Structure 1
Amino acid sequence: MAGPSDRVLRLLSVLSTRPSWTNRELAERLEVTERTVRRDVARLRELGYGIESDAGPWGGYRLAAGTAMPPLSLDDDEALAVAVALREVALKGTLGSDQAALSALFKLQRLLPRRVADRLGRFADAFVHTPQGTPDPVSSGVLLELASACRYQERLRLAYRDRNDRQSTREVEPYRLVRTSNRWYLVALSAGEWRTFRADRVIEAHRTGSPARIADPPDAARMVADMLTSHYPVYATIYLPMSMGQAQQLIPPGSGVHEAESNGTRVTLGGTDIDALATRLLELATPLTVLAPDELRSALRERLQAQLAALTG
């Protein structure tokens, strides 16, 4: 005979399979009394699950939105699907500078049964990701520590390797993780100054247990973008007729500086020369307006006219 906890979880699973169930239907399905169903529904409500009920002989129970995030009950296929989706969101930087997906992914991976974890591993092995310019991969353990420290505002002790391959140990006040098109960056307060740290250069990261003292934080995504684009010899400013979120999916934070405008987004991005910028903008394959410089506008016009002539010639 199932215990109270198992029975409550089974009730939750049954409720999720249909829009509505009568008390009698639930009692027959679970092989318990209608009184037991009412008691278990009350227990689910105490745990934070929103369960609505209608009075009368034709009334019943149905799941609704709760007031808090309760525990979830997932079967093997659902757990695998959630883990894969979270990993894709984290790797692609869909949420910009938000590290919530990464933190949730590592929490879920720690709880996966061995049979599901093995399936997830086989699923990952079936895919090959093309190189995106990152010379050194970031270990999952390092990313977990960085994401957790940012989320819970704890000081970090980093073993870090700089661009000259010199190693040092430092304590930082972590603020945000920023995903660009090919790297993760940690934005943190170090020795009283806001800095960016490449996650693939972090050798070890450990939370100290001390609270981070964050005051007047910067726009993390813009700080990384400014750092990455500061060395380009030429820049382009374009207008995209889309929301900030859509523009950041097209041109990831760190590859450009995004500014919201009425009915669209202004983006500034750098390149090695006008020709390279023209190529980059054409590859976006979306309507846009070049605000500056004039040379880029002329280069794009010439390219498009040449392509049109080739198509109609």
Structure 2
Amino acid sequence: MSDTTSRALALLNLLQTHRHWPGTELASRLRVTERTVRRDVDRLRDLGYRVESTPGAAGGYRLEAGSAVPPLLLTDDEAVTMAIGLRVAATQQLVGGAEVTLTALAKLEQVLPSALRRRVNALAESVQPPRIGDAPVVSPEVLGEIALATRDTERLRLRYVDGVGVESIRRVEPHALAPAGRKWFLLCWDLDRDDWRTFRVDRIETVEHTRVLFARRPITPEEIEERVFVASSWSPQKVEADAVMDLPLDEMQERFGVWSQGATAEDAQRTRWPFGGSDWRDAMYALLWIPEGVEYTTTFPEPWRAELREAVERMLRALDAPAPDVVG
């Protein structure tokens, strides 16, 4: 293989790993001049790859979908079959394969021409793989677009519908896609809220690319895992209530960390915090996390309120009674 061919393949590999590359960065990585990069880009175009170039200081190159599938040694039917298979694999959350599946799906759909993409969408609608339990339906197209933007650090505009049906437009910087339980979650920086947010992917109606890149914000894998866990736990419960505690919102958020999700300021000195559980015992456990000495009221609903009161009164009687004799 000649140096020219090897360099062109190396360039293609770089173009497939990010949505946008500055010309100077490509030249530096390939250890050639920018003029050589331009010649190699022309060679890729001759082979059928549609490489878009933009001039100016912030200009560079990006790999776009063309009028035909580039020479990947795949027929059209093979490309469509692979795309459908990857979509099914992604939505089924194959064990140990979530990240690899999304990466492969993003790479393939990035270069699919519009005609083949329409075929994939049409056929995918007719392929209904068995679903586990009551897992929500996730759009493979939405999942793939978010995966691309997460990989490329590209800001997105999302149309999101929350759990009670309220629709909103969210401008976000996507940082991680993660399956939890039977759902997919997007962890992102919400530009309008100036804070981290975790969205259920099945509730994202549309994804709009902005072509605006961002610098990743520092966040550890452990914090990502915890935030996704909290979001996956935040779903309608059998017992739902609020606690209004004598604690300002900022102080409450500092003490509760990611578990302060959903908390709102009741006034300057008090915070309303929603909580719940599968039964009154689970819900009561949440109340035990309110810091020592902080007074609060609660909307704990009936009939569980009466059951909780009876259990607490019985517990207080047990604590006030003399300790039982130790036998033996």
Common fold, TM-score beyond 0.5? no
TM-score, normalization by structure 1: 0.44
TM-score, normalization by structure 2: 0.42
